[in-house]
Amino acid sequence: MALQNQDYPKLQDPQGRKIEHGVILKIVTTNICGSDLHIYNGRFAAPGGMLMGHENTGEVVEVGAHVERVKVGDICSVPFNVACGTCRNCRERHTEVCLNANEELGFCGAYGFNLGGWQGGQAEYMLVPWADFQLLRFLDRDQAMEKIRDLTLLSDILPTGYHGCVEARVGTGSTVYIAGAGPVGRCAAASAQLLGASCIIVGDSNPARRELVTQAGYEVVDPSSATPVADQIEAILGTGSRWVDAAVDCVGLECHGNGPNGCSHNVEEAVINTMMEVIRPAGAMGIPGVYTDQDPGAPTDLNKQGLMALGFPGAWVKSPSFTAGQCPVMRYNRELMMAILWDRMPYLTPLLNTEVISLDDAVDAYEVFRDGSPKKFVIDPHGMTGLVGTGDRSQSAG
């Protein structure tokens, strides 16, 4: 990971063709995501020199000739899914698998993620294509900047956590198990609360992250404990209650700290197998955690082939259901924006434990985040938020 000097972006697609439906954004905030760590750790193949960053919020500074609704000066959230708005999948609200955003694969585009060649936004400026369709505008600039710590989450992790809960059918009174207490898992816990869940249980081997979750009023389990997760859940729910209504995977392929002392079962399928064990018969699972067959650092020969040893045969009799894949951010981001603006999620800021940093500090922040920090690192390249340096990263490592 290194800082690079790059040219100011052009209104061109990854193949170099001019596009008039795009805009150039001056980045206000761009976040470091757990999914970025998959690339950083060599667990998701990416070309050298690729610009990172798929959690972006920016101010429009240039518009293409075909852009009609987005104006210079607008502050907007950028969904991490690149989507055209006109293909069959986009029209069906499956913007996570747009058919025009990735010419090599044929579907599924994303910024800074080796999916379609779209460069990321961990930079001073970035290109956003199909801007009229994609961008979520914040109509009140002053209000947006006041709440930017929370609004910056709309580009990915808050909709992703919410999507996992929706696909797991979380509703009023649900009991929920969320695998992972990183920023996405914490957003999933906040989303489960917004959706009306009763008991929200978050599993993580990192004690600093578990502490954040506990302080927010949620229950925690430790998957690295010698006590199985199902037994820990039973201790929370009561004797004979080893199952939850819903389970959400906020870990993905880079599972670690699973099994006694974190030394066993460190394979890609560990989280999904645990969820199949703890879900009730006819329960549902949401799996927005990242999995890929482009994993050169996979822990087993089977995983390196893009395959997993799922305990599905034993779980089949439970009639479980699950939905996997990227979150279609545009399905949820406006509603979640309104929940933030009207203070329906006031617990987000302390739960996410956000630290705003400069672009110069981004390389160091990647290392700190990789080492287990309970922080959510937000990069402010231009100092527009006035929040750079307001946290103490030296005290954040878990």
Model pLDDT for residues 274-333, shown as the tens digit of each residue = 999 999 999 999 999 999 888 888 888 888 888 989 999 999 999 999 999 999 999 999
Residue 261, pLDDT score: 52
Q: Are 370 and 393 in contact (CB under 8 A)?
A: no
Residue 173, pLDDT score: 98
Q: Which domains does the chain have, with CATH numbers?
A: 23-155+329-395 (3.90.180.10), 162-324 (3.40.50.720)
Q: Could you tell me the CA-to-CA distances from 251 to 90, 152, 202, 207, 320 in Å, in that order? A: 26, 21, 11, 16, 20
- Least confident range from 113-122, 148-157, 290-299: namely 290-299
Residue 391, pLDDT score: 58
Tokens encoding 146: 């006041």
Tokens encoding 390: 């307001």
List 27's β-bridge partners, or say none. Answer: 58
Q: Are 385 and 150 in contact (CB under 8 A)?
A: no
pLDDT digits 0-9 by tens, 50-105: 999 999 999 999 999 999 999 999 999 999 999 999 999 999 999 999 999 999 99
Instruction: Answer with the residue of higher pLDDT: 34 or 71.
Output: 71
Compute CA 53 distance to the chain's CA centroid, rounded to the nearest angstrom: 11
**In the chain, what is the straight-line distance between the N-terminal and C-terminal CA atoms, in Å?**
22
Pairing of strands 56-63, 75-78: antiparallel
Q: Determine the Cα–Cα distance for residues 369 and 353; give it in Å rounded to an integer.
A: 12
CB contact set of 314 (below 8 Å; sequence gap of 6+): 276
Say what percent of the chain tops pLDDT 70: 95
Say what percent of the chain tops pLDDT 90: 83
CB contact set of 130 (below 8 Å; sequence gap of 6+): 21, 22, 82, 83, 84, 85
pLDDT digits 0-9 by tens, 361-398: 999 999 999 999 999 999 999 999 999 976 543 332 22
Q: Determine the Cα–Cα distance for residues 261 and 249; give it in Å rounded to an integer.
A: 21
Instruction: Answer with the residue of higher pLDDT: 304 or 165.
Output: 165
Q: Are 280 and 270 in contact (CB under 8 A)?
A: no
Residue 17, pLDDT score: 97
CB contact set of 20 (below 8 Å; sequence gap of 6+): 11, 64, 65, 66, 67
Matching residue, tokens 């209504």? 245
pTM attached to this predicted model: 0.94
